């Protein structure tokens, strides 16, 4: 595949007040951009340049730290941006809403579980909703790892990703990660997550 640096799907200030414009600008134009640039530098001229994310991540344990950290950072942020929207929040309906109820008992139970996964991820990382063998699971990974990687504790297809690196919230929330996560729920783009779910169970 050809790896491109994607446009942010909304303006820097679009997720205010949940996520402030300055954080979005630095996060996208500096952090995400750097992961992309370093990933491209690491794969340029190698056979990885023509592979998909899935192909690279499934064998990530045999790749360099540069490919693992920057490839993960590049991929994870695309999912993170796409799973937020200025029109987000609320709860999913349809097949995903039903699957969440069936798996976790209720949307609120699911919300608590993902929130806890984000709060309890020590240091930097991501909390995830994934599809594993056709079923929903909540998990988390350190640093820029993700559940597509063969190094992950629990592997599966990520359909919703929550960035809990301090760079995602520190300017506005300082050390208050739980407050950031509470605000993040108000901008979750459920229609995007529903689409990710449909593809993952197809
Ligand atoms: Mn980040």
CA dihedral over 122, 123, 125, 126, signed as positive or negative: positive
**The tokens of 118 are what?**
């984000």
Query: What is the spatial order of strands in the sheet that 125-132 belongs to?
Result: 135-142, 125-132, 157-163
Predicted model pTM = 0.97
Distance from the alpha carbon of residue 104 to the mean position of ligand 1, in angstroms:
27
Q: How far apart are CA 162 and CA 172, in angstroms?
A: 17
Distance from the alpha carbon of residue 27 to the mean position of ligand 1, in angstroms:
6
Q: How many H helices and E strands in the chain? A: 9, 3
Percent of the chain with pLDDT over 70: 100
Distance from the alpha carbon of residue 13 to the mean position of ligand 1, in angstroms:
17
**Of 4, 78, 70, 2, residue with least CA distance to 41:** 70
Distance from the alpha carbon of residue 90 to the mean position of ligand 1, in angstroms:
23
| Bridge partners for 26 per DSSP | none
Q: Are 79 and 6 in contact (CB under 8 A)?
A: no
Q: How far apart are CA 116 and CA 47, in angstroms?
A: 39
Phi, psi of 140 (to 5 degrees): -145, 160
Distance from the alpha carbon of residue 106 to the mean position of ligand 1, in angstroms:
29
Q: Are 60 and 151 in contact (CB under 8 A)?
A: yes
Beta carbons within 10 angstroms of residue 45's beta carbon: 8
What pLDDT shows up at residue 2?
Answer: 81
**The tokens of 135 are what?**
């079923």
What pLDDT shows up at residue 1?
Answer: 60
Distance from the alpha carbon of residue 12 to the mean position of ligand 1, in angstroms:
14
Distance from the alpha carbon of residue 102 to the mean position of ligand 1, in angstroms:
31
Q: Which residues contact 192 (CB under 8 A, 6 or more apart)?
A: 82, 83, 85
Q: Please give the torsion angle defined by the CA atoms of residues 119, 124, 127 and 130, in that order, rounded to the nearest 10 degrees.
A: -160
Q: Which residues contact 186 (CB under 8 A, 6 or more apart)?
A: 18, 88, 89
Digits of tens for pLDDT over the chain (202 positions)? Answer: 689 999 999 999 999 999 999 999 999 999 999 999 999 999 999 999 999 999 999 999 999 999 999 999 999 999 999 999 999 999 999 999 999 999 999 999 999 999 999 999 999 999 999 999 999 999 999 999 999 999 999 999 999 999 999 999 999 999 999 999 999 999 999 999 999 999 999 9
Three-state secondary-structure class, residue 58:
coil
Distance from the alpha carbon of residue 109 to the mean position of ligand 1, in angstroms:
26
């Amino acid at each position: 595949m050809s790896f491109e640096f994607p446009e942010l799907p909304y303006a820097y200030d679009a997720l205010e007040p949940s996520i402030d414009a300055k954080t979005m600008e630095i996060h996208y134009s500096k952090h995400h951009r750097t992961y992309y640039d370093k990933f491209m530098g690491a794969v340029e001229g190698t056979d990885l340049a023509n592979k998909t994310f899935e192909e690279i991540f499934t064998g990530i344990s045999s790749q360099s730290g540069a490919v693992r950290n920057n490839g993960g950072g590049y991929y994870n942020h695309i999912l993170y941006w796409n799973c937020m929207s200025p029109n987000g929040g609320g709860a999913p309906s349809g097949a995903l809403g039903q699957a969440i109820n069936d798996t976790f008992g209720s949307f609120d139970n699911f919300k608590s579980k993902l929130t806890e996964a984000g709060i309890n991820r020590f240091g930097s990382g991501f909390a995830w909703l994934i599809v594993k063998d056709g079923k929903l699971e909540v998990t988390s990974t350190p640093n820029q790892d993700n559940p597509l990687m063969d190094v992950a504790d629990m592997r599966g297809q990520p359909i919703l990703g929550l960035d809990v690196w301090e760079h995602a919230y520190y300017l506005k929330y300082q050390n208050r990660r739980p407050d950031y996560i509470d605000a993040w729920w108000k901008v979750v783009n459920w229609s995007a997550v529903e689409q990710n779910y449909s593809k993952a169970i197809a």
